[in-house]
Structure 1
Amino acid sequence: MSTARRLRLPGIAYGGDYNPEQWPEEVWAEDMRLMREAGVTMVSVGIFSWALLEPAEGVHDFSRMDRILDLLHENGIAADLATPTAAPPAWFFKAHPEALPVDRDGRRLWPGSRQTFCPSSPAYRSAALRIAGVLAERYAAHPAVAMWHVHNEYGCHNAACYCDTSAAAFRTWLRARYDDDLDALNHAWGTTFWSQWYYAWDQILPPRATGAVPNPTHQLDWRRFCSDELLSLCTAERDVLRRAAPDIPATTNLMVLRTFDALDYWRWAPELDILSNDHYLMSDDPEAEIDIALSGDLMRSLAGGPWFLMEHSTGAVNWQPVNRAKRPGEMRRNALAHVARGADGIAFFQWRAAKAGAEQWHSAMLPHSGTDSHVWRDVVQLGTDLKALAEVRDSTVPAQVAIVWDWDARWALELPSQPSGELRYQDLVRDWYTPLWRAGVAVDFVRPGDPGLDRYKLVLVPSLYLVTEAAAANLVRFTEHGGTLAVGFHSGMVDENGHVRLGGYPGAFRDVLGVLTDELFPLLPGETTGLAGEVPPGATAELWSERVRPAGAQAVASYADGPLAGHPAVTRHQHGSGTAWYLATRPDPDTLAALLDRIRREADVTPQHRAPAGIEVALRRGSEADYLFLIDHTGDGAEVPVPSGETELLTGKPVTGSVTVPAGGVAVVRRPHRATADTLGEDTEPTRPPR
């Protein structure tokens, strides 16, 4: 969070989206009473209120918002006041039908939901900045307003528009990227292939539906443009708000989710005072707790410190094929897991469950069944928990390991016509993240060109298909100066334009890894190959293989069968003062865990605290104490050794040699810095309490 404009609320903020306009005004008093009972300290308001705030162009009605904000302030609840620009009203589209988006097949989409606008529309931009400005001028000095909420979930439903207005904006973006040099664009896009050479800028269109595979660099630049176009809307609204209220922080809710990849959040992060995230569990994910941790670590890394969970759910969502409710204790466990990963604010969508509209079956803090419900009791308990954890605010998460994450590489990897259509960037990253999570090893995420890699002992590169020369040199430098680097298959293959690096694979990383691959052998779905060598018995691999020839590296494991039998699958290479590992395949989970355990041990990376399997461990470091989070995902609970003289914050009880993690529950131990030097002996085994 920015130190110049920070959220001036004590402790960990708690609340959710508040939509009182959906309810009769006599309900509002009950809302205030129940919010106080639950410990709510801040709510987001006005997110989808444009049609009510501006019932006709240039005609404003703020009477309802005035009463809402006054009521919140009277009850000691802060407002995260939103610009309502994610849902333009019907009158806008009646006046400006050209602002409606067009899909890649050329179909014009119609109003009737949210985010049905073209991001490049001048009419939309003008109307959005106008309502943002009027809102800011009216409420900049209102005592309830603690934060600006810009828009809502940029790109969730309109990440790309293919209309002629967008085409013109795309060409303007391209001219800036290529310094108005059309020859440079033709070279970057490789347009001599399939007679795609451009002789004039106005010949260039968005990558609309076509008869065969579109040009990959054309598609990649389009993804970059779409992210930047939405970012320009966000920063334009932010600037309007800052002019009216320079000291109030501005945020927008990002979506670091398995299902969303439209925006390059490394480019967005520096533009926001507070980074916020919306995170929802996927019902088909059997270990969704890992996704919570991964997204939280990525958000903290984007923020460079604490961040804000703007939305998650108390129970079921409304937008998956099957929307399951959360199990008893799961909501509380999820929320505190986000805090463990750096969240200084916890909020839900939404406060009161809607009885009408598209999200009427989405869970809420106050469910349809009211206060006589498990959800409500859990909401009240969570408010008590967060109050007990107030001192955790502003603490950081120390990490010795970094995982490289790059949106350009993700977009490029998942374009059509790869050697395997089964490659999924986030799956590959999660493969490598999971063993570290299970071991209780803290992880930061970094860009490949991050200049501060020397603060880590180990840098992991699960997948980096696309990498610039400068970023690749940065990773090589880290290794030469004594770091440990581990690189996954199909990395370093192409430059920023998607051009294959010639001379053998893995392209930019051949020298540092000490290997040379001359041919790729991706595996068919369901096909596996055996591994032999310094790996567990029965080790296998799937998805990918390649014919590797050592060029200085030593083979750690080789393919045991198939056309590559005897060829290296995992290698280790001394480079400069450091060590570089190459995994030329996707080992089974147990084998990958064993390899990563060996790699981190050789790099002298240790877990934050020892705990039994199934107990998630995370640590936040404050100015006076560390905060050890222990989260049980087994449903059994555990007894975890912890030095005496410390305090478990959720219960307030002193620790006498160990702490009990309740079944399916959470313990948070305050460890004064005088105690951080204490270590557990290798012969100390944490135990589970009897069931």
Structure 2
Amino acid sequence: MPETTPRGLTRLAFGGDYNPEQWPESVWQEDVRLMREAGVTMVSVGIFSWALLEPSPGRHDFGWLDRLLDLLHDNGVRVDLGTPTVVPPAWFYRAHPEALPVTAEGVRYEFGSRAAICHSNADYRAAAAAITTKLAERYGDHPALAMWHVHNEYGVPVSACYCDSCAAHFRRWLATTYGTVDAVNEAWGTAFWGQRYADLDQINPPRLTPAAVNPGQALDYKRFADATMRENFVTERDILHRLSPGVPVTTNFMTALSQCDSVDYWAWGREVDIVTNDHYLITDGRRTHVNLAMAADLTRSVAGGAPWLLLEHSTSGVNWQPRNPAKAPGQMARNSLTHVARGSDGAMFFQWRQSRRGAEKFHSAMVPHGGTDTRVWREVVELGAAVDALSEIRGTRTEADVAVLWDWHSWWAQNLDWRPSVDHDARERADAFYETLYDRHLTVDFAHPEADLSRYPLVVVPALYLMTEAAGRNLKAYVENGGTLVVSYFSGIVDEHDAVHEGAYPGPLRDVLGLTVEELSPLLPGERVSVTGPDGSELGADVWTEFVVPRGAETVLTYADGLTAGRPAVTRNRLGEGTAWYVSTRLGADGLDALLGWAAEDARLAPRADLPRDVEVVRRTGESGTYLFAVNHTGSDAKVPLEADGTELLTGERAAGRLAVPAGAVRVVRLDG
């Protein structure tokens, strides 16, 4: 079995992407001296270095990398060594221009950025395998090598290519997936609009069309593009496993739902030896720490609950948003240690030294343009000491209270053309439900709809438009066996081919929810409705309503106005030993909090009203003990109750009763016993 932790790394990972090729070698000695000062334990090297490693076809220059790895090893810094296959050299594209990807509109991209790759191109595949083989043969047993890092952020910024090579590859994928053209016609419903194919050779990628493209074809092309990237990863991974046994292989994910929508990370998580993730704050006025926690929880879930690794985040501002504010004092540590609380065995950054040239020269780094006499550098050194103080938590696992179901295939299908309302956003619903659970101080695991859910007292389905029959049976069994389920509107509508389930909405959820939906009734922009309870309480809602018909479910909230006035808005259905809730409209924050409060009572989840808002409390447990993380995102000091006495690892002080967490600070207690 491959190793699942970085080889030779006995502490938490702390460091970042190191790109010394951007600097004279005279700077390298200064770099390693500063790495020692900051407590750096690992750096990522070589990710964008193909043109330097192979300056012309078949001619390699490894001298600089030899010297670099030896220098890092001599200074006690482990190496996450990249295969540089995300950016082939200019000479490669001059020889193979067809390896540049083509858009659905027929425009071929040019060289001059990054990740401009047709993943179906045979020449690219051969060249990527060749450079990976050379690196593995030379460095596979280097004493500095901790793990291999294949490619970089698959799917960003290009996942799908629509060229003729991809068309031929897509047909082969269809033949493998479906077997016959008749099976493809059935899956895609090509009887509609006369789109029937007589032969697989007649099928092209879903290129630009005058109206909406066939949704089954579009959905399968997303699957194909994702699978093609994964094929290339597996090819490189297998080379590295063969030539560098005992060294784990990874590639950096981007699980934050807003940052990469083209990769099925449930599938990718099964292929890597260590799940690693890059996370960057989207500073759009919302509570960024909530999205950060969500991304960390999703990454841990992709890892199957095992420890994972934050491979990139920023020390301060990024460079690619319309507005890129700096992080506030102390925010870097809070961001980093929140990831650690939620399962990461370290905190690494992009990048070590801030670039003077290129597209990311305004992206923050561990060593900023201003050098070591800066707030960022001082905070980096302080954070390095904090991460080192937490090394004993390495290998422990984060404990979760509830599960949220998420499926990338459903998200892809939901985002295709001609859905009932452009205002319904599956990711927005996931964000909203997650934020409500966060504010109730419940730690979330994400789960695939067909996964075993038996250990969770509460399961939330924020938006699962595409649902298989197997997923429907899974949720029914979960409730019958005592679980509490909450389902939001427009879930269970289509099968895996984007075909509406036979019969009334919501397809495989009808029995577990005890209802049917006669008709969907989205609202116009700015239109709102009120929903009321039997006690006369009133909540606001917008975007969506439905004509719900209870068939065993009880009505909890009723539409007070609009087309659906008098109809059920929120229902509750008892089934077997459990309960299933359904909300047929987009409730605001107060409504979601009330709904999840009722569901939490059914699930016998005790309220945690003694914890302040925006003070998150998360536990990691393992052979070394139980650790309570308290992260205070507010400007006021806070008190957190402790279930047992313990030792606070960052200060060395004893903690008992109620833990004092200063404004903007993090505390980590190893609980006694």
Instruction: Report SS of the residue matched to 1:581.
Output: strand
Q: Distance in 1 between matches of 2:384 and 2:5?
A: 25
**What letter is aligned with 2:198?**
Y
Q: Are residues 1:582 and 2:582 paired?
A: yes
The CA distance in 1 between the partners of 2:163 and 2:633, in whole Å, is 48
Q: Which residue of 2 aligns with 1:567?
A: 567
Once the two structures are overlaid, the 10-residue window that deviates more, 3-12 or 244-253, is 3-12
After superposition, give the CA deviation of every residue in 1:177-229 in whole Å (9 maximum; x if it has no partner): 102x1111101101011110001111111111110011111100000001000
Question: Within 2, Cα distance between the matches of 1:249 and 1:61?
Answer: 25
Distance 2:443 2:35 in 1: 35
Deviations 1:227-266 (A, max 9, x none): 0000001010001111111100011000112131101011
Counterpart of 1:434? 435
Task: Quote the Cα distance in structure 2 between the aligned partners of 1:223 and 1:658.
Answer: 50
Q: Which moved more, 1:138-147 or 1:623-632?
A: 623-632
Give 1:447 deviation, angstroms: 0.6
Shift of 1:610: 4.2
What one-letter code is carried by the residue in structure 2 that aligns with 1:75? Answer: N
Matches within 5 A, 1:56-95: 56-95=56-95
Deviation at 1:645, TM superposition (A): 3.3
Q: State the match for 2:13 in structure 1.
A: 13
Matched position secondary structure for 2:148: strand
Partner of 1:244: 243
The amino acid of 1:422's aligned partner reads: D
Gaps of at least 5 residues in structure 1 are: 675-691
Partner of 2:365: 364
1:74-473 → structure 2 map (5 Å cutoff): 74-179=74-179, 181-257=180-256, 258-304=258-304, 305-450=306-451, 452-473=452-473
Q: What whole-Å deviation, never above 9, does each CA across 1:260-299 have from its counterpart, x for those lacking one?
A: 1101011111110000001000121421111111111111
Over the aligned positions, Cα root-mean-square deviation in angstroms equals: 1.5
Write out per-residue CA displacement over residues 499-558 of structure 1, whole angstroms, 9 at most, x where no aligned residue.
112321111111110111111111122221101006894411111100111100000101
* Residue 606 of structure 1: how far off its partner (Å): 3.5
Count residues in correspondence: 671
Identity %: 53
Describe the SS at the equivalent of 1:323: coil
Amino acid of the structure 2 residue aligned with 1:395: T
Aligned residue in 2 for 1:33: 33
Asked whether the 8 Å contact 1:413–1:423 carries over to 2, the reply is: no
Deviations 1:68-109 (A, max 9, x none): 000000000000000011110011011111111111110111
Partner secondary structure for residue 270 of structure 2 = helix
Amino acid at match of 2:286: P
Counterpart for residue 551 of structure 1: 551
8 Å CA contact 2:395–2:622 kept in 1: the answer is yes
Q: Is the 8 A contact 1:535 1:595 kept in 2?
A: no
State the alpha-carbon separation in 2 of the partners of residues 99 and 568 from structure 1.
Answer: 55
Give the structure 1 partner of residue 613 of structure 2: 613
Q: What is the match of residue 527 of structure 2?
A: 527
The answer for the alignment partner of 1:498 in structure 2 is 498
Q: Partner letter of residue 557 of structure 1?
A: L
Deviations 1:131-190 (A, max 9, x none): 0000000001110001000011111022010100011111111111102x1111101101
- How far did 1:337 drift? 0.6
Corresponding residue for 1:686?
Answer: none
Q: 1:501 to 1:230 in 2, by over 3 A?
A: same
Tell which deviates more after alignment, 22-31 or 535-544: 535-544
State the secondary structure of the residue aligned to 1:367: coil
Report the alpha carbon displacement of residue 4 of structure 1 after superposing the two structures with TM: 5.7
Q: What amino acid maps onto 1:207 in structure 2?
A: P
Alpha-carbon distance between aligned partners in 1 of 2:153 and 2:487, rounded to the nearest angstrom: 33
- Give the distance between the partners of 2:594 and 2:469, measured in 1 at CA: 31
Note closer, same or farther for the CA distance 1:252–1:348 as it changes in structure 2 (3 Å cut). same
Q: Kindly tell me: are residues 57 and 569 of structure 1, through their superposed partners in 2, closer, same or farther at Cα, counting changes over 3 Å? A: same
Q: Which residue identity lines up with residue 19 of structure 1 in the other structure? A: N
Please give the secondary structure, in 2, of the residue aligned with 1:322. coil
Amino acid at match of 1:380: V
Matches of 2:609 and 2:585, distance apart in 1: 31
1:622, distance to aligned residue in structure 2 (A): 2.0
Offset from partner CA, 1:602-630 (integer Å, 9 cap, x none): 20123689421221111111224221111
SS in 1 for 2:109: coil
Q: Normalising to structure 2: TM-score of the pair?
A: 0.98
